[in-house]
Structure 1
Amino acid sequence: MTLEWKLFADLAERAGDKRVSVDVTAGDTVGDALEALVAGRPDLEERVLDGDGELRSQIHVLRNGNNVLVDEEGLETELEGDDELALFPPVSGG
């Protein structure tokens, strides 16, 4: 199945688009979809993952509007066919 990531701010710039589709299969997780997203996009991968390949603490991953790191099972959250995924950088301003 194909799922679409919505990317915001500089993440969209690094990926080259605000929306990026990735192929996943039944039983895949949000982490699998994230790996598919950053594959072949080194600028995005560097911004989203740390040197150990772990999600940077300031990056927010949402599935159907819920922060998977807070409201669900983190990157191990299993995907469903109609999921909407979103990736947000830290928000700052005044």
Structure 2
Amino acid sequence: MEWRLFANLGEAAGTKHVEVPAEAGDTFGEAFEQLLSAHPELEDEVLDENGEIRDHIRVLRNDHNPFVKDDGYDTILEEGDELALFPPVSGGSR
């Protein structure tokens, strides 16, 4: 399974694409733990002091937030799922 990391998250990890050993049938939480295990430097960027995903970080599974549409960390991954982390996005100039 591959994670896509955007903006400063990709910079912190040193790559914009991270392969993790999660596969179909595993949970989103397992894939997320594998990402942080592979790149612990992301923890300060994405987790708050309680170990929860920071409010401003956007997590996507197939273009939607698994904590809104699915079962959060317990979401079962399917073949071909796309996982991504986004930092806050600010507007452009006028």
How high is the TM-score relative to the length of structure 1? 0.86
Q: Percent identity?
A: 57
Unaligned runs of 5+ in 1: none
**CA distance in 2: counterparts of 1:93 and 1:68, whole angstroms:** 25
Letter paired with 2:22: V
Asked if structure 1 preserves the Cα contact closer than 8 Å seen for 2:27 and 2:73, the reply is: yes
Asked if structure 2 preserves the Cα contact closer than 8 Å seen for 1:39 and 1:45, the reply is: no
SS for the counterpart of 2:32 is: helix
How high is the TM-score relative to the length of structure 2? 0.86
Unaligned runs of 5+ in 2: none
**Residues 20-39 of structure 1 aligned to structure 2 (within 5 Å):** 20-25=18-23, 27-39=25-37
Size of the aligned set, in residue pairs, is 92
Cα 1:24/1:40, change in 2 over 3 Å: closer
Which 10-residue stretch deviates more, 7-16 or 62-71?
62-71
RMSD: 1.5
Letter paired with 1:58: H
**CA distance in 1: counterparts of 2:17 and 2:41, whole angstroms:** 16
Match for residue 54 of structure 2 among 53, 56, 61 = 56
Letter paired with 1:73: D
Match for residue 84 of structure 1 among 76, 79, 82 = 82
Larger radius of gyration: 2
